[in-house]
Amino acid sequence: VQLQAYGGGLVQPGGSLRLSCAASGRIFAINLMAWYRQAPGQQRELVATISSGGNTNYPDSVKGRFTISRDNAKNAVYLQINSLKPEDTAVYYCNANIRASWLELPAIYWGQGTQVTVSS
């Protein structure tokens, strides 16, 4: 199982970005999917989660600006980021709880990260 994240880039303050992450390989079921970010010198922090049923959660620091969504048919998760701020600059990682087969227990998988830089 692999997760591939993409969609990052350089954007001006106030702009928007949409990050995407697709899972591939042997997949039986995908449970919780999430996005994390890690700024230079900082710990990795959770910014959004979405359950298999579509329930979402966000920390207060990003609520109202970040929107997570998923396409179960494509094994994909997305993160729409609006009103970007310089403090949103970080490497963004996708994360998923995936069951590779009905015989196996779920495991956590990480994408490789995509850089988001907010600067004028």
**pLDDT confidence of residue 52:** 94
CA distances from 86 to 23, 51, 82, 93, 120 (A): 29, 29, 12, 18, 9
What integer is the mean pLDDT of 112-120? 96
pLDDT band at 71 (very low <50, low <70, confident <90, very high): very high
The 10s digit of each residue's pLDDT in 27-53 is 999 999 999 999 999 999 999 999 999
Residue 1: DSSP 8-state: -
pLDDT tens-place string over residues 73-113: 999 999 999 999 999 999 999 999 999 988 999 999 999 99
Mean pLDDT for 57-81 is 97
* pLDDT for the residue 77: 98
pLDDT at 85: 95
Contact predicate 96/30, CB 8 Å: yes
Q: What is the enclosing helix (H) or strand (E) of 34?
A: strand 29-38
Q: Which residue has the tokens 């094994």?
A: 75
